[in-house]
């Protein structure tokens, strides 16, 4: 996020701290320094520490003067354009010796962000750089065929994304299902063999407990270790990260294949280990990785370039694919194509357009369809009727509701909002504690193990102390534990715990009335509430959807049971229906989504469209109540991590401000034709990512020129790396296209990989064909809400602020809209 900010640039001069102009000192100290090259950097001296100081005092028309004044006390000796005689410099800086110039930094340009405590996020380049090379490609694409071909390829990629995401989801699904079944069958057998069938008062649960601990701790420890040591970015659900990415914040390593592999193993181990989490959240992340991987046609993890899809190698195209991948992931996780698409739109996407939505939907449908085929085949069915696609279980009868139930739904919503807000707040506190006191890696793994053990212990205690025996039904799919119960009964508590959380949600939705004691459900809801709160934030890959739904389903069902217990005439209170509404309310309270959640719940349970109304009432109430206290859990996580997310609307405190009040200045500029050496040094000494390109530099100072474009750091590095100089243009000009720049995307080399310029030190770079000639320029007097709209709508990274004479007054980046 240091995008071309120079406002807090401090030019640390090593040996001195007096007020004498920095540069005279430098020239005294070392004639090796190409001093004039850094003229601009020097001019932007350390006095201007606060944003916009240089322009703050000026009103319309006098902005330039404001900046000029800054320079009046810079010695005139600096103020001439660099004009090296190659020899003089080469003589002073002989080739190899200059390598140790690094160890003697003459100026260290430090950005504000590096100094502050917030992490150093970079922006993505969602802005299409419409330079001459791009225009050339565009001209080709004006031919109908090229454009059609690109469009068809785009469709093919989206379809591939859908298929592969679904295959990955299936694999994770099946592995979790099989392993969990093995684990819980083993545990149940162990229980049965250790507690004699007739023993209904108590017995020895120590051996099964130890087995349980072991079968939980082993996978959890393995998963947590993978996550912690191999790829820490895979911790959590991944939704906040994907959301940040789609908003334009670069989250390192978020879309690598290695990340996907670790995430998949992490999810499997954690769910099998019995942590209070679900696999649904990570699916969106998995889909995003798949999308990014396929669309780019190369993999960093495998160091392999398949040489396909080259035209899609930029942040802008990648972003759209990632959105499609996320949608495909949710769809596959829930078997809900519309829900998946809406989830992506509501929670993840920051930029939409109609075509994109359209492609996203197709990816979602393909994904669900693939899932259906694979799972149907796996379960030995020949048609597409695999009901496992309703992964929260299909309601057999249509759910109905009456007028007078609407206030009840609303009350449930309010309860969900309160519980959700409390959950969010508690979870944030726990995570803050975690961050402060458990910074080392081994500790994080241990913590996960401890939480896993805590879960098993609490479950065991519940099973041991609560005696909830229910008559055996005829359903052969249930594996009941007889533990402490009569011969024709099963232990309802054990039934809740001896399965994956997802299966428990299903039970709560669909078990017939009277399947549990009130105490059982109350304890279960409480324990799971605490457990899920302690789990989300551990260094394991787990989502928050299923545990949240589970807690909601538990207290929803509980409320129906309590009401029925108090007023036996209220037998209309179908407990499964209230479990569903409770789940919706709790989800609304924690996640604060509404549309997509209600659609997902409808699609995963097969309820009628008319039941949409109760669901949305609960969700809206929950959201409104929750919003009164805090933000949704994903947004909270983003905020806690200081990710510079651009909101949908400008923050209230920005209303009434003008661009000049938020800009960062002064700015490091580059001339349209500048020396390679100057560019090299600028890149070396400052870490900005965008540099305004100026022209019409009459006198000396670049920042006095008129803006004619903007060039990115990555472009400059490629130019230097490939030696695209004016002097040798006959070599490179014929075969340099936009592809030259795309080839190094997205892992642009650092300036360190550029060899010292040596013989090319007096070569010139002509930026005319490389720079973006249409940078978004706003006037220093423009209102911030207006420029925010532009910044947001176009997904900009840099916005140039110019004064009335088209001279640079400052630069605005993402951070300027968020932290003031």
Interface mask (CB under 8 A) for its own copies, residues 700-739, using x and -? ------x-x-------------------------------
| 383 contacts its own copies (rule: CB under 8 A) | yes
- Residue 595 CB, nearest distance to its own copies (Å)? 6
Max CA separation in the chain (angstroms): 100
Interface residue with its own copies, options 26, 456, 602, 667 (CB under 8 A) = 602
Of 365, 481, 494, 622, the one binding its own copies (CB under 8 A) is 365
Q: Which of 159, 271, 336, 580 binds its own copies (CB under 8 A)?
A: 336
Cα separation of 400 and 385, whole Å? 24
> Least distance to its own copies from the beta carbon of 594, Å?
7
Q: Which of 372/665 has CB closer to its own copies?
A: 372
Please report how close the Cβ of residue 390 comes to its own copies at its closest, in angstroms: 8
Alpha carbon distance 457, 18 (integer Å): 65
Q: Quick check: 354 binds its own copies (CB under 8 A)?
A: yes
CB of 724 to its own copies, least distance (A): 21
397 binds its own copies (CB under 8 A): no
| Pick from 670, 819, 682: nearest CA to 11 | 682
Q: Which is nearer to its own copies, 389 or 421 (CB)?
A: 389
Nearer to its own copies, 590 or 802 (CB): 802
- Full DSSP string of 96-161: GGGGGGGGS-S--EE-HHHHSSS--PEEP--S----HHHHHHHHHHTSHHHHHHHHHHHHHHHHHH
385 scored as a contact of its own copies (CB under 8 A): yes
**Alpha carbons 239 and 242: distance in angstroms, whole number:** 5
The SS3 call for residue 801 is strand
- 407 binding its own copies? (CB under 8 A): no
Among positions 275, 362, 469, 799, the unique one binding its own copies when judged by CB under 8 A: 362
Of the pair 219, 614, the CB lying nearest its own copies is at 614
Give the three-state DSSP class for 348. helix
Distance between CA atoms of residues 272 and 176, nearest Å: 6
Nearest Cα residue to 541 out of 280, 285, 243, 266: 266
Query: With CB under 8 A as the contact rule, which of the stretches 200-208, 337-345, 660-668, 752-760 interacts with its own copies?
Result: 337-345
Cis peptide before 331 (omega within 30 of 0): no
Rounded to a whole number of angstroms, the minimum distance from the CB of residue 361 to its own copies is 6
- If the CB atoms of residues 25 and 781 are measured against its own copies, the closer one turns out to be 781
Count Cβ neighbours within 10 Å for each residue of 195-229 and write b for 16 or more, e otherwise.
beeeebeebebeebbebbbebbbebbbbbbbbbbe
- Please report how close the Cβ of residue 60 comes to its own copies at its closest, in angstroms: 7
Residue 487 burial (C-beta neighbours within 10 Å; 0-12, 13-18, 19+): exposed
| Least distance (Å) between residue 810 CB and its own copies | 16
Indicate the residue among 493 and 800 with the shorter CB distance to its own copies: 800
- Does residue 353 touch its own copies according to CB under 8 A? yes
| Residues paired with residue 695 on neighbouring β-strands, in sequence order | 706
CB atoms within 10 A of CB 115: 10
- 11 sits near its own copies (criterion: CB under 8 A): no
Q: How far lies 77's CA from each of 35, 74, 108, in Å?
A: 10, 8, 21
Q: What is each CA distance from 536 to 273, 531, 592, in whole angstroms?
A: 15, 9, 17
CB of 543 to its own copies, least distance (A): 22
d(CA 647, CA 693): 29
**Can you give the three-state secondary structure of 724-778, one letter per residue?**
CCCCCHHHHHHHCCHHHHHCCCCCCCCHHHCCCCHHHCCCEEEHHHCCECCCCEE
Minimum gap (Å) between residue 240 Cβ and its own copies: 17
- CB 668 to its own copies: min, Å: 21
Answer positive or negative: Cα dihedral of 275, 276, 280, 281: negative
**For its own copies, the closer CB: 27 or 806:** 806
CA distance 611 to 631: 27
Q: Which of residues 47-66 bind its own copies (CB under 8 A)?
A: 60-61
Q: Which of 55, 389, 559, 668 binds its own copies (CB under 8 A)?
A: 389
Q: Residue 360: CB partners within 8 Å, gap ≥ 6?
A: 158, 323, 324, 327, 341, 344, 345
Which of 430, 438, 806, 818 forms a contact with its own copies (CB under 8 A)?
Answer: 806
Contact 586, 549 (CB under 8 A): yes
Q: What is the DSSP string of 143-191?
A: SHHHHHHHHHHHHHHHHHHHHHHHHHHHHHHHHHHHHHHHHHHHHHHHH
Nearer to its own copies, 477 or 609 (CB): 609
Nearer to its own copies, 384 or 731 (CB): 384
- Nearest-10 crossing angle of helices 144-194, 280-296: 150
Contact pattern from residue 604 through residue 643 relative to its own copies, giving x for each residue in contact according to CB under 8 A and a dash for the rest: --x-xxx-xx--x---x-----------------------
Which helix (H) or strand (E) element contains residue 683? helix 676-685
Q: Which of residues 103-142 bind its own copies (CB under 8 A)?
A: 128, 130, 135, 138-139, 141-142
Among 47, 655, 752, 820, indicate the residue that binds its own copies (CB under 8 A): 655
* Total binding residues toward its own copies, as defined by CB under 8 A: 78
User: Hey, which residues between 770 and 799 contact its own copies (CB under 8 A)?
Assistant: 773-774, 776-779, 781-783, 785-787, 789-790, 793-794
Closer to its own copies by CB, 249 or 357: give it: 357
The residue among 515, 557, 509 whose CA lies nearest residue 394 is: 509
Q: Which of residues 136-195 bind its own copies (CB under 8 A)?
A: 138-139, 141-142, 147
Q: Which is nearer to its own copies, 89 or 406 (CB)?
A: 406
Q: How far is the CB of 742 from its own copies (least distance, A)?
A: 18
Q: Is 24 in the site for its own copies (CB under 8 A)?
A: no
Q: Minimum distance from CB of 804 to its own copies (Å)?
A: 5
Q: Between 262 and 711, whose beta carbon lies closer to its own copies?
A: 711
Shortest spacing between CB 630 and its own copies, in angstroms: 17
Query: Closest approach of Cβ 503 to its own copies, in Å?
Result: 21
**Structural tokens at position 589:** 């309270």
DSSP code of residue 398: P
Q: Which stretch binds its own copies (CB under 8 A): 75-83, 334-342, 502-510, 738-746?
A: 334-342
At residue 811, φ and ψ (nearest 5 deg) are -135, 145
Sign of CA dihedral 155, 160, 161, 162: positive
Q: How far is the CB of 677 from its own copies (least distance, A)?
A: 26
In the complex, the smallest distance separating the C-beta of residue 275 from its own copies, rounded to whole angstroms, is 30
The span of 264-272, 451-459, 592-600, 727-735 binding its own copies (CB under 8 A) equals 592-600
Among the residue ranges 99-107, 199-207, 261-269, 601-609, the one whose residues contact its own copies (CB under 8 A)? 601-609
Interacting positions 62-91 with its own copies (CB under 8 A): none
Q: Which is nearest to 240 in space by CA: 531, 501, 622, 543?
A: 543
Query: Which of 236/413 has CB closer to its own copies?
Result: 413
The yes or no reply on residue 601 touching its own copies (CB under 8 A) is: no
């Amino acid at each position: 996020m240091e995008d071309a900010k120079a406002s807090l640039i401090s030019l640390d001069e090593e040996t001195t701290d007096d007020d004498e102009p920095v540069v005279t000192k430098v020239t005294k100290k070392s004639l090796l320094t190409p001093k004039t090259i850094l003229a601009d950097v020097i001019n932007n001296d350390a006095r201007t520490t606060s944003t916009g100081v240089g322009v703050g005092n000026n009103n319309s028309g006098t902005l330039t003067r404001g900046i000029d004044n800054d320079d009046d006390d810079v010695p005139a000796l600096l103020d001439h354009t660099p004009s090296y005689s190659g020899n003089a410099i080469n003589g002073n800086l002989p080739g190899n010796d200059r390598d140790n110039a690094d160890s003697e930094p003459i100026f260290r340009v430090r950005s504000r962000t590096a100094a502050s405590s917030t992490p150093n996020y970079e922006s993505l380049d969602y802005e299409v750089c419409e330079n001459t090379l791009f225009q050339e490609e565009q001209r080709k694409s004006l031919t109908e065929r090229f454009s059609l071909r690109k469009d068809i390829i785009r469709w093919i990629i989206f379809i591939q994304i859908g298929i592969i995401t679904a295959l990955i989801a299936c694999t994770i699904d099946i592995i979790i299902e099989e392993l969990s079944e093995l684990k819980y069958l083993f545990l149940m057998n162990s229980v049965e063999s250790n507690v004699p069938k007739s023993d209904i008062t108590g017995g020895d649960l120590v051996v099964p407990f130890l087995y349980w601990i072991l079968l939980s701790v082993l996978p959890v420890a393995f998963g947590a270790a993978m996550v912690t040591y191999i790829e820490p970015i895979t911790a959590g659900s991944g939704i906040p990260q994907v959301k940040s990415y789609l908003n334009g914040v670069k989250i390192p390593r978020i879309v690598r294949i290695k990340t996907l592999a670790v995430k998949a193993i992490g999810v499997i181990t954690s769910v099998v280990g019995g942590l209070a989490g679900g696999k649904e959240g990570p699916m969106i992340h998995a889909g995003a990785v798949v999308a990014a991987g396929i669309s780019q046609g190369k993999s960093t993890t495998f160091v392999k370039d398949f040489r396909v899809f080259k035209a899609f190698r930029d942040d802008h195209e990648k972003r759209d694919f990632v959105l499609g991948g996320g949608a495909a992931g949710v769809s596959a996780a829930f078997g809900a194509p519309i829900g998946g698409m809406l989830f992506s739109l509501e929670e993840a996407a920051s930029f939409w357009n109609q075509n994109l939505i359209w492609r996203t939907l197709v990816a979602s449908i393909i994904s669900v369809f693939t899932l259906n085929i694979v799972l149907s085949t796996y379960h030995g069915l020949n048609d597409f009727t695999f009901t496992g696609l309703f992964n929260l279980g299909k309601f057999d009868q249509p759910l109905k509701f009456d007028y007078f139930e609407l206030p009840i739904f609303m009350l449930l919503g309010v309860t969900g909002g309160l519980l959700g807000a409390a959950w969010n707040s508690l979870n944030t506190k726990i995570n803050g504690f975690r961050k402060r006191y458990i910074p080392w890696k081994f500790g994080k793994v241990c913590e996960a193990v401890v939480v896993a053990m805590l879960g098993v212990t609490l479950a065991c205690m519940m099973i041991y102390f609560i005696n909830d025996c229910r008559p055996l039904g005829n359903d052969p799919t249930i594996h009941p534990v007889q533990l402490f119960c009569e011969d024709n009964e099963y232990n309802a508590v054990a039934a809740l715990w001896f399965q994956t959380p997802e299966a428990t949600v299903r039970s709560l939705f669909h078990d017939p009335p009277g399947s549990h004691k009130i105490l059982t459900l109350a304890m279960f809801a409480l324990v799971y509430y605490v457990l899920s709160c302690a789990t989300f934030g551990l260094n394991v890959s787990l989502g928050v959807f299923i545990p949240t739904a589970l807690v909601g389903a538990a207290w929803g069902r509980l409320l129906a049971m309590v009401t029925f217990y108090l007023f036996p005439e209220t037998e209309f209170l179908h407990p499964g229906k209230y479990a569903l509404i409770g789940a919706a309310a709790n989800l609304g309270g924690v996640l604060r989504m509404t549309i997509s959640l209600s659609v997902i719940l409808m699609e995963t349970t097969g309820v009628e469209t008319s039941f949409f109304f109760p669901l949305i009432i609960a969700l809206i109430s929950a959201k409104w109540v929750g919003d009164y206290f805090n933000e949704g859990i994903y947004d909270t996580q983003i905020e806690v991590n200081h990710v510079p997310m651009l909101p949908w609307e400008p923050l209230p405190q920005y209303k009434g401000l003008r661009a000049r009040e938020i800009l960062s200045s002064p700015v490091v500029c580059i001339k349209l034709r500048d020396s390679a050496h100057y560019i090299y040094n600028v890149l070396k000494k400052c870490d900005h990512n965008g540099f305004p390109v100026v022209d019409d530099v009459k006198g000396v100072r670049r920042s006095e020129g008129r803006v004619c474009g903007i060039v990115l750091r990555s472009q400059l590095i490629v130019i230097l790396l490939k030696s695209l100089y004016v002097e040798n243009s006959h070599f490179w000009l014929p075969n340099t296209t936009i592809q030259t720049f795309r080839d190094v995307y997205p892992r642009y080399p650092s300036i360190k990989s550029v060899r010292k310029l040596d013989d090319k030190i007096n070569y010139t770079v002509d930026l005319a064909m490389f720079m973006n000639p249409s940078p978004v320029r706003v006037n220093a007097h423009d209102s911030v809400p207006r420029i925010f709209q532009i910044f947001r709508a176009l997904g900009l990274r840099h916005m140039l602020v110019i004064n009335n004479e088209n001279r640079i007054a400052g630069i605005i980046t993402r951070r300027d809209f968020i932290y003031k």
